[in-house]
Structure 1
Amino acid sequence: MTNIKKSDGCYSFETYSIITQKEEMKIPESQLVDLQYYSDSFFKAYNFVLKYDGTNGVVTKKLYLNAEPNSEFRSEINRIRKTIANNV
């Protein structure tokens, strides 16, 4: 994952891969279920799990986030997690 933006009540999660190049997932804030970041999973294929309500139930996306622990990117993830917790 390369970036997170919020506008008009939706979060845009930007990802990049060699195969698909740049992709953007737009998810309404009300549909976010959970965000998990695993800082101790350096050698795993993913360290970020995004869950949101889809048309057929909860959708889980496993991504790799390459960001420093105290980066603005990580701070944004923590803000989103607090928002999800407050909406429950």
Structure 2
Amino acid sequence: MYIVMDSLLPYYHKKMKVWAKENHVKLAYTPTYTSWLNSIECHFGSLRKFFLEGSIYSTHTSWLRRAKNTYDGATDVNVTMRYL
């Protein structure tokens, strides 16, 4: 199995490489400055606008609570996409 990831620094950590080897997983990294290759990147702008625009969150926890309540039970891709 292959896992394709961007070049976020923690993905290169020794623990990640050990886990991959123990689980027979090959890690494949996208080149630097190619976030457009990661299909989730196109959704970040919509998520930012939906959750943050016109909102004030006093703590990171309150933002996470809103995100969890919004997506709670939204396991189907089509259900999740209506929020984007």
TM norm structure 1: 0.27
| Larger strand fraction of residues | 1
TM norm structure 2: 0.28
| Larger helix fraction of residues | 2
